[in-house]
Structure 1
Amino acid sequence: MDEVAGAIADPVRRQILVMLGGGRLSAGEVAERFPISRPAVSRHLRVLRESGLVRDELVGRQRFYTLDPEPFTELIAWLAQFARPSGWEHRFDALETEVYRTRRERRTDGVADDRRENTA
């Protein structure tokens, strides 16, 4: 998890991951989208590859990169402990509580009605 967190700490690497989310790209295609040198982009790609976030494939003289989202799983699970429910989740929880309360009241009222009818 630390390696993944370190890899995504850099904004250039995060941009590369977003680009690769759209599909496979060659190293040259990635590099041409940045105002930094090709060797600098290559270093970023190497960090992403070593962290397991991207895979590379050599085809002829070109190296193609693809995103591998699997290493994010552990980091996402860890981050989830800090996530607060969104407004909608909170509202759905409140709705669920209200539905159960209403059902419980109907059952209780139904039992009381049955008792009244039996004693009358």
Structure 2
Amino acid sequence: MNDDELDRVFKALGDPTRRRIIDRLRERPKQSLFEICALSFADDGAPLSRQAVTQHLDMLQKAGLVRVEWSGRTKLHTLDPGPLREAFGLWLRNHL
């Protein structure tokens, strides 16, 4: 993992909405955009637009924290904790 990848991971984690999405995907993988939006409303009481959730998921995917697979025409999102573990280990190794 290089510094740019490390920065992307920590930037992705810097937003509370993205951290909540990660928490939801950790609890239950393979969620569609619709499910993530619905759970956001159920948990927070405030709806997030599909566009906002899509942008958050895009950033998480670019950071390598979310994997996508297709089931027919439905895009399913799953947490990939590998980059998070790698970023944490690299950061600690370089700063302790």
TM class, shorter-chain normalised?
0.7 to 0.9
Ranked by relative contact order (alpha carbons within 8 Å, sequence separation 6 or more), the top structure is: 2
Q: TM-score, normalised by structure 1?
A: 0.62
Please give the secondary structure, in 2, of the residue aligned with 1:75: helix
Paired positions, count: 82
Answering whether residue 34 of structure 2 is matched by residue 28 of structure 1, we say yes
1:8 corresponds to which letter in structure 2? L
Tell me the distance in 1 between the aligned counterparts of 2:39 and 2:24: 10
Q: TM-score, normalised by structure 2?
A: 0.77
- Percent of matched pairs sharing the same residue: 41
Deviation sequence 1:66-91 (CA, Å, 0-9, x none): 11001012332224756xxxxxxxxx
Q: CA RMSD in A?
A: 1.6
The runs of at least 4 consecutive aligned structure 1 residues that moved more than 4 Å come to 79-82
Structure 2 residue runs without a partner (length 5+) = 1-5, 41-46
Tell me the distance in 1 between the aligned counterparts of 2:32 and 2:84: 22
Tell me the distance in 1 between the aligned counterparts of 2:83 and 2:33: 21
